[in-house]
Amino acid sequence: MPTPESPGPGAPPGSFLRGRYRYVVASLLFAAATINYIDRQSISIAERELTREFALTPQQYGNILSWFFLAYAVGQIITGFIVDRIGAKRGFTIAVGLWSLANMAHALGTGVRSFSALRFALGFFEAANYPAALKAISQWFPRAERSTAVGLVTAGVGFGAIVAGPFVAWLILNTGWRGAFVLTGSLGLIWLVLWRAFYGDPHAHPSVTEGERRLIEDGAQEPPSARPSASWSLLRRRDTWGLMLSRFVCDGAFYFFATWLPKYLGDVRGLSLAEIGWMVSIPFIAADLGSLAGGFAGTALIRRGFSLDVSRKLVMWAGALLVPASLLAVNARTPVESLLWIGLGMFGIQVKSASLFTVPADVFRPADLGLAWGLSGAAGSFGGSLFSPLVGFLVARYSYAPVFWIVASMHILSCIIVMVLLPGIGAPQPSAPTSPSSASDTSLRARYPRRGGPSHTR
């Protein structure tokens, strides 16, 4: 009889991926997140060219960015609702196709109004990335491995930011900023071919072995045919509001580094476009390492006998307490020293995010996961849309220093909200009888027996 990781009947002989096809799916999700962030970051790398050509002020640039976050907020709710009904495969196909075209259309921008409209379109369609990815993860991964899968997706975000700096800068220098938008937008259309070819239902996919299928099915919280709950019933749940508020107060920190860092390096550190192109990757390499560390740490804690609740919160606090290190960047003597401190802060952000972003899959039914993520993600993006104009105001009126102070506190406040409003992640939810139960948490410890150290439960 095949074990969960052993090949079942018909498994391809000699294949390293026998019994691990779910990680092919995770690789596709990683690639989608990478492309998502390359497209999103293109305007940040092109900011100097756009400012020169269209005479943009910091306030106008901040307002243009805020339209993306506003659309991203609204889009996560709407696309999450749609993904719950049409599934991850079709949802991703539509979203990636449309966001790729929206990014390419930036080449037609002529000023503040057109770029604001184009950022709105890009934000709306890119919003489907996380709801669809988390839905795919909930269908393909057992609960104990989901933080690892989510860590890979969030690592794709960091990798996209790493690649975007030198890649988009090179494109701008060789094809102009308009050509850069067209070429980065084309990446999503190439990804669609791979997505359509390799993704499918894990219960019927020919590349999934019997052992892997059993592992996935044993970790399932409900049948694949389960129908979504009434659209707004999730708003009656305390954990929904806990996730929404925790994201609202903290997502702006990563958005600040992702969208304002190239401008900071040019304005404050005096770097050229070519220097920004490669140096901006330093903190995003740290962010990627944080994503992987946070994801693997969550899985390791569960396998050592820690409860789902304790493992998720330990990782969140470990990350949140590292973010204030970014404050030291303000008085750093060199650009590299500044970027290293920012990198440590971004490492902490992504350690925390790998755990926090997994929580919707821990507390909501898979059939409701798209909308559940959409609500929490929308709250985070709405917070980001408010924070970006504030950053523009503070930078224009004062300096970047007050912005760094705000960023340093955001994730600690987010963790406090999680402790208050999500006291028992994975515990029974009386308002949703089919939600994960304490039996699910017990089954995790049965599947992954304790390997030393005390068992921590709530």
Confidence band (pLDDT; 50, 70, 90) for 348? Answer: very high
DSSP notation for 131-168: HHHHHHHHHHS-GGGHHHHHHHHHHHHHHHHHHHHHHH
What is the per-residue pLDDT for 427?
61
The pLDDT of residue 182 is above 50: yes
The pLDDT of residue 155 is above 80: yes
Among the ranges given (223-232, 341-350, 438-447), the one the predictor scored with the smallest mean pLDDT: 438-447
Domain ranges of the chain: 22-218+232-447
What is the per-residue pLDDT for 210?
84
What is the per-residue pLDDT for 230?
56
Higher pLDDT among residues 306 and 322, named by residue: 322
The pLDDT of residue 184 is above 80: yes
What is the per-residue pLDDT for 231?
58
DSSP 8-state assignment for residue 453: S
The 8 Å CB, 24+ separation contacts for 228-237 are 228/84, 228/85, 228/367, 228/368, 228/370, 228/371, 229/365, 229/367, 229/368, 229/432, 231/81, 231/371, 233/431, 233/432, 234/364, 234/368, 234/371, 234/372, 234/375, 235/375, 236/431, 237/429, 237/431, 237/432
The pLDDT of residue 305 is above 90: no
Domain 22-218+232-447 has CATH 1.20.1250.20: yes
Q: State the average pLDDT over residues 376-390.
A: 84
Higher pLDDT among residues 264 and 443, named by residue: 264
Percent of the chain with pLDDT over 70: 86
Q: State the average pLDDT over residues 133-137.
A: 88
The pLDDT of residue 319 is above 60: yes
The pLDDT of residue 280 is above 70: yes
Confidence band (pLDDT; 50, 70, 90) for 245? Answer: very high
Q: What is the pLDDT of residues 54-96, one digit of tens each?
A: 988 888 887 888 888 788 888 988 998 898 888 889 999 999 9
What is the per-residue pLDDT for 15?
53
The pLDDT of residue 174 is above 70: yes
The pLDDT of residue 430 is above 50: no
Contacts of 16 (CB under 8 A, 6+ apart): none
Q: State the average pLDDT over residues 217-237.
A: 64
